[in-house]
């Protein structure tokens, strides 16, 4: 039976809301050893860890074009239609994020500054496989990469024991313009994209969710001059509900995250005990009908049902937790949403399940977990682009800021900086 925590004081929130994850230190040594092995031994190391972790020992790792073509025959027409429908919504939302370049700004007379956005040339996408191959994540990562204009879109995903990749992943990857696909999972996949091997190309930025091992691997990748989207680990959901919620819906939403994995965490925050008890009853009814009920039960063991005394204290706790997904299950959801500061993605009202965002509303489901929503955004179009700044000085520009540059450089003791401007001033006979 899930217990209810009543009106916890703020000093207890950290311990109450602790995520069910291992610490970085617990996994770091193993991950670093795999990285070192891949750096030194390339494909040989990838194959070794594929045997250990994925029970797969066949090369090549590269998915051949024939496999991709064959996958289309193994995807039902209903699923193809659903993927296409989701593709259109996700594409439309991310295409709308394209912004025109900043117009040229004359900051001082003769000093012109502007910006241009450029796509990151080489990006790596990690797609979780295993018990629930997430072809939907291909949509979420490859579509913005496609819109941004990334030249190389490399995808890694763990194969089954017989060396196959779920056909829906292959079908979706082809639809979204993925350029290369590899049958590699886990830490070794992230290491492969970090360093490059005989088969897997090196990329400049790695995207994608995963388990705790993948999260650690991505963080280690940053120490080797590879960028990442964010630390994205086990899934989590917090629902705020009041007496206007539909308990049946709330229970279904909690279970939708609980079935992701045993290390998922779901939390219910409510302002009255009756709502909590109604949701608990519904949850106990619904869980037995789930094919992944054993996974859900273990995740529910990490869940928290929290009674807060008022709306303000509830949202103070929510912002402290900074959930990956936040559902505001009330008839005043739009109003209450103004209180949200820290969350990956917010779902408003009783008719908006978190699963809508997972698949087909158009927003991205690759989101910060483990309280990283306090400082990270979820994946968006800008994540696949970088901004270059430009500046140009004409004769008036040199005159406008030349003395300023000289004075500041001299005070900082950077004589060459001063000289670079002084020579131009002299050449223009402006002093």
User: Could you report the per-residue pLDDT of 230-248, keeping only the tens digit for each?
Assistant: 987 788 999 999 999 999 9
Q: Are 344 and 369 in contact (CB under 8 A)?
A: yes
Q: Provide CB contacts within 8 A for 119, sequence distance 6+.
A: 148, 149, 150, 151, 384, 385
Q: What is the pLDDT of residues 56-79, one digit of tens each?
A: 776 678 999 999 999 999 999 999
CATH code, 323 = 3.40.50.1980
Last residue within a domain, chosen from 186, 203, 232: 232
Instruction: Tell whether residue 94 is among the known ligand binding residues.
Output: no
* In-domain check, residue 84: yes
Instruction: Tell whether residue 365 is among the known ligand binding residues.
Output: no
* In-domain check, residue 350: yes
Biggest CA–CA distance in the chain, Å, is: 85
pLDDT of 47: 92
* In-domain check, residue 117: no
Instruction: Tell whether residue 126 is among the known ligand binding residues.
Output: yes
Radius of gyration in angstroms for the set of CA atoms belonging to the chain, rounded to a whole number: 25
| Backbone phi and psi for residue 252, each to the nearest 5 degrees, phi listed first | -65, -40
Instruction: Tell whether residue 188 is among the known ligand binding residues.
Output: yes
Query: How do beta strands 265-270 and 236-241 pair?
Result: parallel
Name the DSSP class of 64. Answer: P
Examine the domain organization and report whether 63 and 140 are in the same domain: yes
Last residue within a domain, chosen from 307, 339, 362: 362
Smallest Cα–Cα separation from 47: which of 61, 35, 32?
A: 61
Q: Taking all residues of the chain, what is their mean pLDDT, rounded to a whole number?
A: 94
Ranked by mean pLDDT, the top range of 45-54, 158-167, 356-365 is 356-365
Smallest Cα–Cα separation from 132: which of 156, 166, 87?
A: 166
Instruction: Tell whether residue 65 is among the known ligand binding residues.
Output: no
Give residue for tokens 């930025």.
205
Confidence band (pLDDT; 50, 70, 90) for 351?
A: very high
Last residue within a domain, chosen from 232, 258, 279: 232
Rounded-to-integer distance, Cα 373 and Cα 324, Å: 7
Angle at 320 between CA 314 and CA 326, to 5 degrees: 65
pLDDT of 53: 87
Residues that are catalytic? 324-325
* In-domain check, residue 147: yes
DSSP β-bridge partners for residue 106: 112
Examine the domain organization and report whether 269 and 339 are in the same domain: yes
Whether residue 6 has pLDDT greater than 80? yes
Examine the domain organization and report whether 242 and 219 are in the same domain: no
Examine the domain organization and report whether 238 and 165 are in the same domain: no
Give the mean model confidence (pLDDT) for residues 285-297: 93
Rounded-to-integer distance, Cα 186 and Cα 130, Å: 10
pLDDT of 423: 96
Instruction: Tell whether residue 243 is among the known ligand binding residues.
Output: no
Instruction: Tell whether residue 235 is among the known ligand binding residues.
Output: yes
Examine the domain organization and report whether 87 and 146 are in the same domain: yes
Q: Provide CB contacts within 8 A for 395, sequence distance 6+.
A: 110, 428, 430
Query: How do beta strands 304-307 and 265-270 pair?
Result: parallel
Examine the domain organization and report whether 299 and 403 are in the same domain: no
Tell me how many domains the chain contains: 3
Instruction: Tell whether residue 294 is among the known ligand binding residues.
Output: no
* In-domain check, residue 208: yes
Confidence band (pLDDT; 50, 70, 90) for 131?
A: low
Q: What is the pLDDT of residues 86-107, one digit of tens each?
A: 999 999 999 999 988 889 999 9
* In-domain check, residue 377: no
pTM above 0.95, yes or no: no
pLDDT of 2: 77
Cα torsion 212, 200, 138, 204: sign:
positive
* In-domain check, residue 247: yes
Range of the domain at 409: 394-427
Rounded-to-integer distance, Cα 55 and Cα 161, Å: 5
* In-domain check, residue 169: yes
Q: Encoding tokens for residue 338?
A: 């103004």
Rounded-to-integer distance, Cα 158 and Cα 128, Å: 7
Rounded-to-integer distance, Cα 391 and Cα 387, Å: 13
Examine the domain organization and report whether 340 and 402 are in the same domain: no
Examine the domain organization and report whether 150 and 296 are in the same domain: no
Q: Edge to edge, what strands does the sheet with 180-183 contain? A: 180-183, 152-157, 122-126, 205-207, 227-228
Give residue for tokens 């279904």.
252
Which tops the pLDDT comparison, 267 or 429? 267
Angle at 42 between CA 40 and CA 47, to 5 degrees: 125
Q: What is the pLDDT of residues 205-230, one digit of tens each?
A: 999 988 888 989 999 999 999 999 99
Burial class (CB in 10 A: 0-12, 13-18, 19+), 99: exposed
């Amino acid at each position: 039976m899930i217990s209810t925590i009543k009106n916890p004081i703020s000093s207890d929130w950290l311990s109450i809301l602790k995520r069910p994850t291992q610490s970085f230190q617990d996994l770091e040594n193993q991950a670093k050893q795999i990285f070192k092995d891949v750096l030194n031994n390339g494909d040989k190391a990838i194959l070794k860890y594929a045997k250990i972790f994925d029970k797969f020992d066949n090369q090549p790792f590269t998915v051949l074009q024939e496999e991709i073509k064959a996958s289309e025959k193994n995807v039902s027409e209903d699923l193809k239609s659903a993927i296409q429908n989701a593709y259109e919504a996700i594409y439309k939302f991310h295409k709308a994020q394209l912004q025109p370049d900043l117009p040229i700004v004359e900051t001082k007379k003769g000093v012109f500054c502007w910006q241009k956005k450029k796509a990151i040339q080489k990006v790596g996408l990690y797609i979780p496989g295993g018990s629930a191959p997430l072809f939907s994540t291909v949509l979420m990562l490859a579509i913005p990469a496609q819109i941004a204009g990334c030249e190389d879109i490399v995808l890694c995903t763990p194969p089954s024991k017989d060396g196959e990749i779920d056909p829906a992943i292959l079908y979706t990857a082809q639809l979204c313009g993925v350029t290369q696909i590899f049958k590699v999972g886990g830490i070794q996949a992230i290491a492969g994209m970090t360093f490059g091997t005989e088969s897997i190309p090196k990329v400049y930025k790695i995207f994608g969710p995963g388990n705790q091992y993948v999260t650690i691997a991505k963080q280690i990748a940053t120490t080797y001059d590879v960028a990442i989207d964010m630390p994205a680990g086990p899934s989590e959901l917090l629902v705020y509900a009041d007496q206007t919620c539909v308990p049946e819906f709330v229970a279904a939403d909690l279970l939708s995250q609980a079935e992701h994995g045993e290390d998922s965490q779901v939390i219910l925050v409510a302002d009255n005990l009756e709502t909590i008890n109604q949701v608990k009853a519904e949850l106990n009814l619904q869980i037995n009908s789930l094919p992944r009920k054993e996974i859900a039960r273990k995740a529910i063991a990490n869940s928290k049902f929290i009674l807060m005394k008022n709306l303000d204290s509830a949202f103070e706790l929510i912002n402290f937790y900074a959930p990956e997904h936040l559902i505001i299950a009330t008839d005043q959801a739009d109003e209450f949403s103004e209180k949200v500061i820290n969350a990956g993605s917010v779902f408003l009202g009783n008719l908006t399940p978190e699963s809508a965002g997972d698949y087909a509303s158009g927003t991205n489901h690759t989101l910060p977990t483990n309280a990283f929503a306090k400082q990270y955004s979820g994946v968006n179009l800008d994540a696949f682009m970088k901004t270059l700044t430009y500046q140009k000085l004409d004769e008036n520009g040199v005159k406008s800021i030349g003395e300023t540059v000289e004075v500041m450089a001299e005070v900082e003791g950077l004589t060459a900086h001063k000289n670079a401007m002084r020579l131009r001033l002299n050449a223009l006979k402006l002093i």
